[in-house]
Structure 1
């Protein structure tokens, strides 16, 4: 079964408040046991720039979607409103 990837691109306007989101999101993510596969140095080559980028690998596309739609993550996501903007996508891996 192909892996599922959650990819986030974020620009933060309030680092202190964003830290509360990051902790809550991490707690919500723990039961799904994703692997962080990218999140360090980057170079924006085209398109809208953001200051932070992360890629999480889940066991499947469905698991990534279940995480994103979970009540725990939706509560965490509410903490991000007004303190960060970004783009999030779920992508199915290639078998």
Structure 2
């Protein structure tokens, strides 16, 4: 079964409220099987628009595991803290077999 990669692109609009998300979000991702591969480091746009402030890549064992994490009670609680604190795009892509 191919792995899956959660790609999040984030512009923080309220740092204080976003800190509340950060207190819960990474632990919820890791606790639900995610492995943080990149989180907020340097990003360079080679084509298309500029990268967001934070670009995150998280590996999961499968697409189903990544989707289950997003819908988990722990991550839902983290998302509630993030609401209104950031502009967020999340995409989950399946890896190669």
- TM-score of the aligned structures, taking structure 2 as reference length: 0.87
The aligned residue for residue 43 of structure 1 is: 44
Q: State the superposition RMSD in angstroms.
A: 1.4
Q: Number of residues paired by the alignment? A: 95
How far apart are the structure 2 equivalents of 1:30 and 1:14? 24
**What's the CA shift string for 1:34-93, capped at 9, x where partnerless?**
222223210123136411100000111110000001121111101111110020011111
Report if aligned partners of 1:50, 1:86 keep a CA contact under 8 Å in 2.
no
* 1:7 aligned counterpart, secondary structure: strand
The 4+ residue runs of structure 1 with deviation greater than 6 A are: none
How far apart are the structure 2 equivalents of 1:33 and 1:70? 11
The aligned residue for residue 69 of structure 1 is: 71
Q: Unaligned 5+ residue runs, structure 1?
A: none
Q: Unaligned 5+ residue runs, structure 2?
A: none
